[in-house]
Amino acid sequence: MLLTTLAVLAAGLQPASASAISPAKAADLCLDSRMRKVAADLVGAWSQNYPFARVIIGSDGQYGDVGASRPAVTGANFVVCAASYNLIKVGRDGRAYSVTMDRFYFRITGTGEGYQVSLEDLPDSLEGTGMTSRELIGRFKINGRPYADILAENQRRIEGKSQ
């Protein structure tokens, strides 16, 4: 699993103690721009593991915006945040397009010295996960259209040219 550590000790974001993170603290952590920036960086790094994601996200993943972040699960020293992801890219033709994921989850864990941020539901590899590549591809949209539909259109176009 991809993860990174973010030492955040200022502005009231002290790591959680052994007691459960309060709902207000969990909400603050999920909304914190530094945590969301690390989550975007992780999506960018994650995208390098899958050919389709390298195509649609490429090396620009860290420039994406993690938005609509809210607590989904809160534990003793962690919160799992439900969020969306949006990246604006420039295509080969010079026009901008958006790559979006309506929902993904990232975990923020208190380490005693800061926080560790990791992706919760975007696996490094599909092996052993029970998730199919089709399911993973189905989570992405290009300009609001399901990426799976765009891939199917491209495949039909390629097959039409070869006949």
Residue 22 identity (one-letter amino acid): S
Q: Please state the pTM of the whole predicted model.
A: 0.84
Contact 163, 156 (CB under 8 A): no
- pLDDT, tens digit (0-9, with 9 covering 90-100), for 118-132: 999 999 988 888 888
- pLDDT, tens digit (0-9, with 9 covering 90-100), for 55-109: 899 889 999 999 979 999 999 899 999 999 999 998 889 999 999 999 999 999 9
Q: What's phi and psi for 45, nearest 5 deg?
A: -65, -40
- CA quadruple 118, 81, 9, 17: dihedral sign: negative
CA distance 40 to 45: 9
Contact 34, 85 (CB under 8 A): no
Contact 48, 54 (CB under 8 A): yes
